[in-house]
Amino acid sequence: MIRGINRQIIDVQDTGSTYYERAYLVVKPEFASAERELLEKEARKVLKSMDAPSGMKRANTKLAWFIRLLAAAGLGAGIMAICAFAF
């Protein structure tokens, strides 16, 4: 179904993000008469505050915990080896 609703949309082509190439932001009707430069400035501010997609964060978090676990196990094994040979 196609609806004929007229909305002002800001198209940001250079998002400055490594994850997003382009963004479309729909302007609220009460701010449609605002200056275009102000709307674009706010759009860029919103895009800068965006972070990596949640799936990528989760993968990076799991990898970081795995590396920490390996480091802790290696450190524990090293301490035990030093104690075993010292006594």
Q: Is the pTM value of this prediction over 0.85?
A: no
**DSSP bridge pairs for 25:** 10
Which residue is it, tokens 């490594």?
Answer: 18
Query: pLDDT band for position 71 (50/70/90)?
Result: very high
Per-residue exposure over 69-84, b if at least 16 CB sit within 10 Å of its own CB, e if not: eeeeeeeeeeeeeeee
Task: Kindly list the distances between the CA atom of residue 20 and the CA atoms of 8, 14, 35, in Å, as whole numbers in the listed order.
Answer: 21, 9, 25
Task: State pLDDT tens for residues 35-63.
Answer: 888 888 888 888 777 776 665 555 667 78
Average pLDDT, the chain: 80
Say if residues 47 and 12 touch (Cβ distance below 8 Å).
yes
* Higher-pLDDT residue of 72, 47: 72
pLDDT exceeds cutoff 60 at 1: no
Q: What is the pLDDT of residue 69?
A: 92
